[in-house]
């Protein structure tokens, strides 16, 4: 029987690459996004359903899940991929920006998961995959709020796995390193207070380093391959690093004391 995957944030980057890969592997794909008219080539593919889903809009979540179930009958895998990065000095972030960052990366992810859980629980099977980041374990300058959301996703997922295990629902966390997507441009929100200039030299230096890291990052296809492996390996493995240096960075963070690891980050970001 053909399996079905629902992906949030599927219009670009990791979500788009994941939708293409699963379709090529013979899955039914529910590719959701805030603006389905931006689905591009996805919309024309066989067994792909492009639906509107804004993770901050509960009504759109319910409607998308209902439409997906009507089209394909079941959903076997959920990939919570929608998200973005709020970048900048914490002092420069507005309350609205802070709330939006958590509303999308944390509360939106939880809302989609909660909406789909009754279906997965009733069918007594399923996989919930939450796209976190290596930034759920280690931190870079100017990403304090983004990191806060990813650490939240890590803790939420780690705990959720236990209560869903009796229903044969597995929880998995995907942890990409730097990826060549529009994360550093379109999918980023830059905190800026024109009257607050004290951080400007620091911001300029860090942003240049982060752009270089993005330019040298892995293709979104690499993370899509990891997501496919996580969906099909039959294991209860929880965490999956994705990207060329993700595993190495996570290993170093576990191995090194804070002082030494912090020195590496300062050397890379603030030279």
Q: Which of 132, 133, 157, 218 is catalytic?
A: 132
CA distance 239 to 235: 11
Candidates 143, 146, 184, 228; catalytic one: 146
β-partners of residue 28 are: 4
Contact assessment for residue 31 and residue 48, using Cβ atoms and an 8 Å cutoff: yes
Q: Give the contacts of 43 (CB within 8 A, at least 6 positions apart).
A: 36, 50
Q: Which of 133, 126, 129 is nearest to 152 (CA)?
A: 133
Whole-angstrom Cα distance, residue 232 to residue 262? 36
Residues pairing with 68 in the sheet: none
218 is catalytic: no
- The answer to whether residue 180 is catalytic is no
Question: Which residue has tokens 């230096």?
Answer: 205
Is 115 designated active site?
Answer: no
Catalytic residue among 16, 133, 150, 172: 150
The catalytic residue positions are 132, 146, 150
């Amino acid at each position: 029987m053909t399996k079905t995957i629902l992906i949030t944030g599927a219009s670009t980057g990791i979500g788009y690459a994941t939708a293409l890969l699963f379709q090529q592997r013979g899955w039914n794909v529910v590719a959701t996004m805030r603006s389905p008219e931006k689905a591009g080539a996805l919309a024309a593919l066989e067994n792909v359903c492009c639906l509107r889903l804004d993770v901050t809009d509960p009504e759109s979540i319910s409607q998308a899940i209902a439409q997906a179930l009507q089209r394909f009958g079941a959903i076997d895998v959920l990939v919570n991929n929608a998200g973005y990065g709020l970048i900048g000095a914490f002092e420069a972030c507005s309350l609205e920006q802070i709330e939006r960052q958590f509303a999308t990366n944390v509360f939106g992810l939880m809302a989609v998961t909660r909406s789909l859980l009754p279906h997965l629980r009733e069918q007594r099977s399923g996989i919930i995959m939450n796209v976190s980041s290596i930034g759920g374990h280690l931190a870079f300058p100017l990403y304090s709020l983004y990191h806060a959301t990813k650490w939240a996703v890590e803790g939420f997922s780690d705990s959720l796995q236990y209560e869903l295990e009796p229903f044969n629902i597995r929880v998995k966390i995907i942890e990409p390193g730097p990826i060549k997507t529009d994360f550093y441009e379109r999918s980023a929100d830059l905190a800026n207070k024109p009257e607050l200039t004290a951080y400007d030299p620091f911001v300029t230096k860090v942003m240049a380093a982060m752009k270089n890291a993005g330019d040298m990052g892995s293709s979104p296809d690499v993370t899509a391959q990891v997501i496919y492996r996580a969906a099909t390996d039959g294991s209860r493995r929880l965490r999956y690093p994705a990207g060329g240096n993700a595993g190495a960075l996570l290993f170093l963070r576990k191995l090194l004391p804070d002082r030494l690891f912090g020195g590496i980050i300062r050397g890379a970001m603030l030279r």
